[in-house]
Structure 1
Amino acid sequence: MDSFLAIISGISGWIWGLPMLMLLSFGGIYLSIRLGFFQIRYAPYIIKQTFGKVLSKPEGGEGTVSPFQAVTAALASTVGASNIIGVPAAICFGGPGAIFWMWVMAVLGMAAKFAEVVLGYKYREKNSEGEYVGGPMYYMTKGLNMKWLGTLFSFFLMLEIIPSVMVQSNSITASAKESFNISPTITGAALFILVAVVVIGGIKRIGKVTEKLVPLMAGVYILASVIIILMNIDKIPGVLSLIFTYAFTPMAAVGGFAGSAIAATVRWGVARGVYSNEAGMGTAPIAHAAAVNDHPVRQGLWTIFEIIIDTLVICSATAFVILSSGLWNAPGALDNPSGLPAAAFTHYFGAAGGFMVTISLLFFVLSTVIVIIFYGEKQAEFLFGLKFSKIMRYVYLGSIIVGTIGGARMLWHFLDLLLALIIIPNIYTITRLSGEVVALTKEFFTTPGKYYLKDIKKEKSSETEFDEGEEEIV
C-alpha cells in the first residue's frame, strides 16, 4: 500500500509541476489573445459594472441569487488559506519577483475564468426545485456534445470534494488547537453544525451567508494589512523595486533568503497566481450559473471582480506585509514560511495580531468548506439526480468529522490527482468553445442599443442631452 501511495504522490507531484502550470498558463494566454485582452481594454467599464454595483439589485434576467451573491459564493471557495500562507512561500522560495508573475497570471487568468463562467451561464438549466444549475459538465455535454466528458468531469469533482473537505476541516481543528488550545472534537462539532445549517438551505442560503461573511472576513484582513503597510510606507518604494527588479533578474542570497534563479521566480509566481483564484479549474461557473442577469457576459464580468479581490488585493496585501516587514529574509524564514504572516501581525499588533491571522484562516476555511460542499452536491445532481445529491450532502458533512480527527488520510493522497483530472478536460473545453465566448462578447460590446452600448448611453445621458435616435458605435 505504501508503494502504491508513493506512486500516486509521485504522479501528482509531477503533474502539478511544469505540466499543469504550462496548461493553465496556455489557457489564460490563448483566451486573452482571442478576446483581444478585453480585461484591460474595458477595465473602467468592468469596474463600474462590478465594484460600482455591489449593492445594486439586478436589472433584468432570471436566476436564483443576485450576481453579488454568486460572486461571493465563488470567492468563498477561492479566498482561503493559500492567500495567507501560500504567498510567503512563493516569496521565500522564488524571491520578491515572484509577486510580479503572480500579477501577470492574475490578469491572464481573468480571460480563462471569464470564458468558463460565460459558457456555464449560457448552458445552464433549471432543476426540479426551480433553481438554476450549470458548470463545466453542462457546457461539455451541450456545447461539445460530449456527455461522457461532462460525466467524467462531474464524477472526478464529486469524489475530489471528499478529501478536500477532510483536509480543510483538519486544518481548522489543528489551527484552533495550536492557537486557542481548543479540543479538535469541539472544533469539529461546531464546524459540522455551522456548515450543515448553511448548506442544507441550498444556494439561496449560501448566497445570503457568503455575501455577508466574505466581505467581513476579507475586509478585516485587508484593513489590518493596510495598517501595517502604512506603518512601513517609507519602505514601499523599495518593496516595489524588489518586485520589478527581481522578476527578470536572478537574486543572490541575502540574510536568511537563499537566493533564486529566474526560473524559480517565474514558477513560484505563476503557481501562486494560478492556485489562488482557481482560474481554469471549472469551479466558479457552478456558483455563477445561479445568478440573476440579462446576459452571460455581464455575469462573466464579475470574474474580473473576483480575481481583483482574491489575487490583486488579498494576495498582494500579504506580499506587501511580508516584504515591508523584512521578515522574508530573516534567519529561519525558509524553515516556516507559512508562519510569516502571523509573525508579522504579532510584531506590529502584539498577541492580538497572531490571533487575527488565525481567526482569518478559520473563517476563510469555513467559507471554503461551505461552498465546495455545494459544488459537490451539484456534481451528484448532474450524475444521479436531485435525490442522490441530498445523500452526498451528508457524505460531505460526515467528511468534516472524519477530517477533524485526521481520519482517512490515505484519501488525501488522491486530492491533487483528482483536481488535475477535472482541470485538464475543462481547459480543453473552454479553448474548444472559445469561439462561442468570443461571439457572445462581441454581441455584448457591439450590439447597437443593447448591453454595453446601452450602459454607455445611460452614462452619457446623465451628463449631457442625448438624442433619442442616436446610437454610439464602438
Structure 2
Amino acid sequence: MSFTDRLSGWLSDADSFVWGPWLLIPLLLGTGIILTIRLRGVQFRKLIPALRLGLLDRSDDGGEGDISQYQALTTALAATVGVGNIVGVATAISIGGPGALFWMWMTGLAGMASKYSEAFLGVRFRIKDAKGNMSGGPQRYLERGIKGPLGKFLAWFFMIAAVIASFGIGNMTQANAVSENLEESFNIDPMVSGIIMFVLVGAVLLGGISSIGKVTSAFVPLMIVIYIIGGIVVLCINASEIPHAFGLIFSDAFTGTSAIGGFVGSGILMALQMGVARGIFSNESGMGSAAIAAAAAKTTHPVRQGLVSMTQTFIDTIIVVSFTGLVIISAGVWDQGKERAGLMTSDAFKEALPGDWGGHIVTISIVFFAFSTILGWSYYGERCAQRIFGSHATVPYRALFTCVVVVGATMELDMAWTFSDLANGLMALPNLIGLLILSGLIARETKAYLDFDPELKASAKDVEKFLIDAKSPWSMTSAADAQSMR
C-alpha cells in the first residue's frame, strides 16, 4: 500500500470519527436549535428586514469599519457560495441519497441562528490591529468573551484549524473542481487551469481585504443570478418530475435509499451525516469563518451586522443549494454513483438544455464560485495566521496560499474532500462550544437592541444614544479602545 493510500485511509478514519453520530453532528444541530430557541427564532422573525438592510440599504452610515456591510456580505458569500453548492451537493446526494438534501435544509435553517450569533460576536469583540484594520472572529471573541484558560485554548484551537481549513475548503477543493470541469468541458489541462488561477488569485490578494471586497461585490451577485436563472430553466423543463423529486427527498431522509443504478444504497444515518457535513461545507454556519469578514464591516451595532450575515446562509442553502439538488434529482442523474459526483450537476444541466449549453453554464458557474471562495478564504486564513505568527506572516501566507491553488488543481478529488471535511469539523468544534457558552450574552444583547430597533431603521445617532442609555460595553469606537489587546 502506497503512502497516499495510507494517508487517505487515516484521513477517512479521522473524518468518520469527527463527523460521527456522537460528536459534531449533534453538536452542530443542537447548537443551532438551542440558539434558535434562545433568540426566539430570530432567523424567521427578522429575515425580511435583514435582507433589506444587507441587499438594499447596503451600508450602515456612521459605523466604523474597513468595508461596507454589503461588501462584508459579498465577501462572506464569496467564501460561502462555492463548489459546495454544486459539487458538494452532488457528492452528498451521490453518497447519502436524495434524503441528504433534506438534512442540508435543516442544517441551514438551524445554522442561520449560529451564523447570526458568530457574526454578532465577531463585531461585538473586534479590535483594531497594529495596522489599524479591524480584527475579529472566533480567534478574538473566544478569548475575550470566555475568560481564563478555556477561552484561550478554544481560540488557539480555532486559529490553527482555520489556517489548515483555509487550504482545504477554501483552496484545494475549489481549484480541483475548476480544473476537473474545465478539462471535461473545454479539454483544458489541469496544470494550465492551476497556473491561471495562481496568477489571478495572487493579483487580487496583493490588495488585501479592500481589494477582495471590491472584486467580490462586483461579481458575486451576478454569478449567483446567472446560476439560478439556468437552474430555473432546467426545472421548468423537468417540471413534471419535481413532485417526484420532493417525494424522494422527504421519504429518503427518514427511510434511507435503496441501491439503484450506480448508487450503492444508503441508510438514514448516512443521509444525515452527508447532509450535515456537506451542509456546513456549503453554508459554513457554526464554523465561525463568516464572523471574520463580519468583523471588518462598517456597522453601528453588532446585531445589525449579525442579521446581515445571517442572510448568507439563507441565500446559500435555501436558495442556491435547493436549485442544485432539485436539478440533479429531477433530471434523474443522482444515482450515477459517487465517482461521477464532480460532474453530476453538469450532467443534469446537459440533460435538459440543448447542445453543450448546460455543461458550459455549470462550468462557468463553478469557475466563478470557486474563484470567489478562494478569495474569501484567503482573508480568513490570513487573519488567523496573523494572530498566530504576527503581522509579518501576511506575505508568506499569501504566497503559500496562492501556490496551493496549483496543488489543488492537480490532486485527486476524494482526498481533497476528505481533508476539507476533517478540517471543517476541527474548526467548528471550538466555535460551537464557544457559541453555547456565550449564548446568554448573545440573547440578552440581541433582545435589548431589537426591542429598541425592531425594523433595523435606526440612524447612527439614535443607535449611539441607545448605547449610552443602555450603558452598553460596546460602542462604535470600542474597537479602537481595545487596540492594545493583540
Residue 138 (structure 2) aligned to one of 127, 136, 139: 136
Match of 2:43 in 1: 39
Shift, 1:273, TM fit: 2.7
Aligned partner of residue 40 in structure 2, secondary structure:
coil
Match of 1:352 in 2: 357
- In structure 2, relative to structure 1, the CA distance for the partners of 1:311 and 1:453 (3 Å cut) is closer
Is structure 2 residue 31 aligned with structure 1 residue 30?
Answer: no
Is structure 2 residue 323 aligned with structure 1 residue 317?
Answer: yes
Match of 2:194 in 1: 188
Match of 1:470 in 2: none
- In structure 2, relative to structure 1, the CA distance for the partners of 1:377 and 1:356 (3 Å cut) is same
Gaps of 5+ in 2: 460-486
Shift, 1:434, TM fit: 0.9
Is structure 2 residue 124 aligned with structure 1 residue 122?
Answer: yes
The answer (yes or no) to whether the contact 1:58–1:67 under 8 Å persists in 2 is yes
The answer (yes or no) to whether the contact 1:446–1:453 under 8 Å persists in 2 is no
Under a length normalisation based on structure 1, what TM-score does the superposition of the two structures give? 0.86
Match of 1:297 in 2: 303
Aligned partner of residue 452 in structure 1, secondary structure:
coil
Match of 1:272 in 2: 278
- In structure 2, relative to structure 1, the CA distance for the partners of 1:260 and 1:187 (3 Å cut) is closer
Instruction: Quote the Cα distance in structure 1 between the aligned partners of 2:39 and 2:246.
Output: 30
Worse overlay, 346-355 or 111-120:
346-355
Equivalenced residues, count? 449
Letter in 1 for 2:448: E
The answer (yes or no) to whether the contact 1:445–1:452 under 8 Å persists in 2 is yes
Kindly provide the CA deviation profile for residues 27-65 of structure 1, in whole angstroms up to 9, marking residues without a partner as x: 111211211212123333333333443xx4323311111
Is structure 2 residue 387 aligned with structure 1 residue 385?
Answer: no
Alignment of 1:51-66 (within 5 A): 51-53=55-57, 56-66=58-68
Shift, 1:313, TM fit: 0.7
Match of 2:16 in 1: 13
Flag the structure with larger Rg: 1
Match of 1:177 in 2: 183
Residue 212 (structure 1) aligned to one of 213, 218, 236: 218
Gaps of 5+ in 1: 458-474
The answer (yes or no) to whether the contact 1:60–1:294 under 8 Å persists in 2 is yes
- In structure 2, relative to structure 1, the CA distance for the partners of 1:341 and 1:129 (3 Å cut) is same
Shift, 1:416, TM fit: 4.2
- In structure 2, relative to structure 1, the CA distance for the partners of 1:32 and 1:323 (3 Å cut) is same
Residue 455 (structure 1) aligned to one of 449, 454, 457: 457
Shift, 1:207, TM fit: 0.7
Instruction: Quote the Cα distance in structure 2 between the aligned partners of 1:380 and 1:303.
Output: 23
Match of 1:460 in 2: none
- In structure 2, relative to structure 1, the CA distance for the partners of 1:111 and 1:347 (3 Å cut) is same
Backbone CA RMSD of aligned residues: 2.8
Match of 1:439 in 2: 444
Worse overlay, 268-277 or 162-171:
162-171
Letter in 2 for 1:39: Q
Instruction: Quote the Cα distance in structure 1 between the aligned partners of 2:137 and 2:400.
Output: 22
Is structure 2 residue 154 aligned with structure 1 residue 156?
Answer: no
Shift, 1:225, TM fit: 0.4
The answer (yes or no) to whether the contact 2:95–2:266 under 8 Å persists in 1 is yes
- In structure 2, relative to structure 1, the CA distance for the partners of 1:88 and 1:391 (3 Å cut) is closer
Under a length normalisation based on structure 2, what TM-score does the superposition of the two structures give? 0.84
The answer (yes or no) to whether the contact 2:118–2:138 under 8 Å persists in 1 is yes
The answer (yes or no) to whether the contact 1:327–1:333 under 8 Å persists in 2 is no
- In structure 2, relative to structure 1, the CA distance for the partners of 1:411 and 1:85 (3 Å cut) is closer
Instruction: Quote the Cα distance in structure 2 between the aligned partners of 1:368 and 1:432.
Output: 30
Kindly provide the CA deviation profile for residues 46-95 of structure 1, in whole angstroms up to 9, marking residues without a partner as x: 33333443xx4323311111111111111111211121122233334434
The answer (yes or no) to whether the contact 1:377–1:390 under 8 Å persists in 2 is no
Worse overlay, 81-90 or 253-262:
253-262
- In structure 2, relative to structure 1, the CA distance for the partners of 1:10 and 1:195 (3 Å cut) is same
Worse overlay, 282-291 or 261-270:
261-270
The answer (yes or no) to whether the contact 2:126–2:140 under 8 Å persists in 1 is yes
Kindly provide the CA deviation profile for residues 375-415 of structure 1, in whole angstroms up to 9, marking residues without a partner as x: 111112212322222222112122223444549x9999755
Kindly provide the CA deviation profile for residues 420-439 of structure 1, in whole angstroms up to 9, marking residues without a partner as x: 33221111111111111111
- In structure 2, relative to structure 1, the CA distance for the partners of 1:392 and 1:291 (3 Å cut) is same
Instruction: Quote the Cα distance in structure 2 between the aligned partners of 1:355 and 1:340.
Output: 13
Instruction: Quote the Cα distance in structure 1 between the aligned partners of 2:422 and 2:265.
Output: 31
- In structure 2, relative to structure 1, the CA distance for the partners of 1:413 and 1:238 (3 Å cut) is closer
Instruction: Quote the Cα distance in structure 1 between the aligned partners of 2:261 and 2:177.
Output: 31
Kindly provide the CA deviation profile for residues 227-272 of structure 1, in whole angstroms up to 9, marking residues without a partner as x: 1112233433343344334444455566666655444443333333
- In structure 2, relative to structure 1, the CA distance for the partners of 1:166 and 1:33 (3 Å cut) is same
Aligned partner of residue 457 in structure 2, secondary structure:
helix
Worse overlay, 14-23 or 42-51:
42-51
Letter in 2 for 1:188: G
Worse overlay, 377-386 or 335-344:
335-344
Letter in 2 for 1:240: F
- In structure 2, relative to structure 1, the CA distance for the partners of 1:42 and 1:417 (3 Å cut) is closer
Match of 2:234 in 1: 228
Worse overlay, 239-248 or 384-393:
239-248
The answer (yes or no) to whether the contact 2:165–2:427 under 8 Å persists in 1 is no
